[in-house]
Chains A and B, each alone.
Chain A
């Protein structure tokens, strides 16, 4: 039995003798027949996806082109809240000898599955019917009513779904992406999707800090040539660290407890990168261990804007490290990726010049705080050492009195926003067109937690002026639960507790409670100097 789409978009269930040879002609024909379905499904996916709910418009024959010859009949019973599925397939092994599967042979098999559904997913119990002969009661069939496993049926939309099966009695499990054999029921299906489904609609944060669709001209999104300034040192003239060395012997470091560090927690690795070293190198190409495998990432810190980022390395071979370009945009570091030589604005967190312009790196959270606070949070941390291979006096600050004065070294946009002192360290967040900053020195001395809103995102902000940190996360979970937080004192790295009793650390990870292990969603946020934030994101609200 073979499921094939009909070019007239009508169901054609073709019963034929199955041959094991698959000819090129048939593949070509099949591909041409499936193309309209593929395009339709892609077009549907390119649009804003509807909130899918199982409905009777899905009642149809479904199959996977790759396993042509088998297929599914699926029937939704909305009133009963249940689904019935019949899976027409074959034996788990080929018949012996030269024999082939013929009509009525024992080789043909079918499975049935029944179960409830919720939203766009049904969880069904599989029943394997055993014995039996074509149109005969002899021998009698038998079915294990306890079931032989489960099938999870999930529909992303009205044109495609996934069958996940786990037939425990046979030791078989896997996934089959399925599509309709005919498209006639798609309009019905779409019409039956409720306008106000009981499905979570958590707003997705923008991927980019900047405009969603920036204008690209001559390979750049920076409109004025003079906005990018050559700082003078030249590319990699401020030398990145390629093989950073770390120490666990924290007592021997002599690092000032008030010195700021960029704290990182990736997989099993907890590391601190002191500003006094980053001031001289700005970029560290590092390697972390996650679930037993190594993962490359680049930590960057711009001493002129006081901003730190951690970006995962790209997957393209040979395209895994960044360098310092020697250029600045709004006085902020521009990195370059060494294989494809795109230029990346650190604070915009995207490529601003090059063939990959507007590309956004995968970002990981960092916690910028004092060495004393970080060491209290994570006593097991490792610390970047001064054994960098470069002759730099890390006790010296390379920019004179820059931190103590209003002085800027390079031109910036919107430099007349004097609502805060220029070098005030602020925790900033961008959501859509909305931007808000939280001056670190305005937080209370103890840990302060603010349940807040920026744009359409409900956020939680945790910070402390004495402990010198600030973080902000999305407090709406994936299941749309909106948590309310309160501060937790003296239990670093735990900084807040939600209304369900879960306790969360500074990285937005639940460490105690029913939600232990869950992450609050990372936001488009980081700490920077006020002048830099308002240069990139003019008009930001200031939390008082």
Chain B
């Protein structure tokens, strides 16, 4: 089955494009990869995909515009997120996906006399409808997909004891959001073992009860994926990401938002025809952030496991 053979490559590349269909934060970097584990590749009618994804996102780089700045406060800020998603193909062209997330944020300023701050809990959820008018077959080398989704604030957005922690430390955004995405893939050979992939998405973020709005976000990614045999594949992509500044009370918040370019390598191994494992990373290449000082991504790595029923 050619579709089986293609799955690892397609899954990885679409992962790149959707990696940050999530939310920005006060540091423009605390995004939880809500859609990372949704398999957005074309599926056969009646197919169900379950995916578990875990990502560790280190957010300790201090940046002024595009310049790295030494951080004498010895900060350790990271987010660990786990996402469970399910995708079901209603027809060969229409499918629906849903996910739930669990998030743990940690903030530890080494120079402080106070200990580290942590928060954890259920995060946002997502519903996504996908339409694939054109998909790769032995007779077609092109695939196009369009998607429309909504982020649903199912989790805790007022975490904290005496104080409510900052928005980037909350498991959930507390606000609904809208998602639009599209992708295009081209297979260089009939077996589709080498593919070019590109994707773009836009996230519109709503306002939560504390009148906070994460900045709207645009992502564009492109890369190549290659399968070796029927089990192993690898890929490399470059992603451009741009977020608007966050807003509170209707006003922009300084030192939020910006532009990033990341390099995203990934490998995937199909243990069986139905069970697939994956590893990926995210390495900043360039960035130009708003304001005079922001903490942002140092690196991120993720593990995923998918099962097709």
Q: Which residues of A approach B to under 8 Å, CB–CB? A: 218-220, 225-226, 228-237, 239, 323, 325-327, 336, 338, 341, 353, 389-393, 396-400, 402, 405, 407-411
Contacts and interface: CB of A to CB of B under 8 A. Distances in A.
B254 A230 contact: no
Contact of B169 (A230, A239, A409): A230
The 7 tightest CB contacts between A and B, nearest first, are: A236-B112, A230-B166, A235-B114, A400-B254, A232-B166, A407-B251, A232-B26
Given A228-B163, A237-B75, A393 B111 contact: no
Interface string B73-113: 10100000000000000000000000000000001010111
B72 A239 contact: yes
Given A391-B70, A396-B64, 7 more contacts: A225-B162, A232-B27, A232-B167, A323-B114, A341-B114, A393-B292, A400-B255
Contacts of A230: 160, 163-166, 169
Interface in B139-184: 158, 160, 162-169
B190 interface: no
B254 A402 contact: yes
B253 to A, nearest CB: 6
Contacts, number: 99
Contact of A235 (B70, B112, B211, B293): B112
Contacts of A397: 292
Nearest to B248: A409
Interface of B: 26-27, 64, 69-73, 75, 107, 109, 111-114, 117, 158, 160, 162-169, 210-211, 248-249, 251-255, 291-293
B254 A236 contact: no
Contacts of A326: 166
Contacts of B249: 408, 411
Contact of B109 (A237, A399, A405, A411): A237
A409 B253 contact: yes
Contacts of A218: 162
Nearest to A328: B163
Contacts of A393: 64, 292
B95 to A, nearest CB: 38
A269 to B, nearest CB: 26
Contacts of A237: 73, 75, 109, 112
B163 A327 contact: yes
A307 to B, nearest CB: 19
B101 to A, nearest CB: 21
Given A220-B162, A236-B114, A226 B210 contact: yes
27 contacts: A219-B162, A225-B164, A226-B164, A229-B166, A230-B160, A234-B75, A234-B109, A234-B117, A235-B109, A235-B112, A235-B114, A236-B109, A236-B114, A237-B75, A237-B112, A239-B73, A336-B114, A338-B113, A353-B162, A390-B72, A391-B69, A391-B70, A396-B64, A396-B292, A399-B255, A400-B252, A407-B251
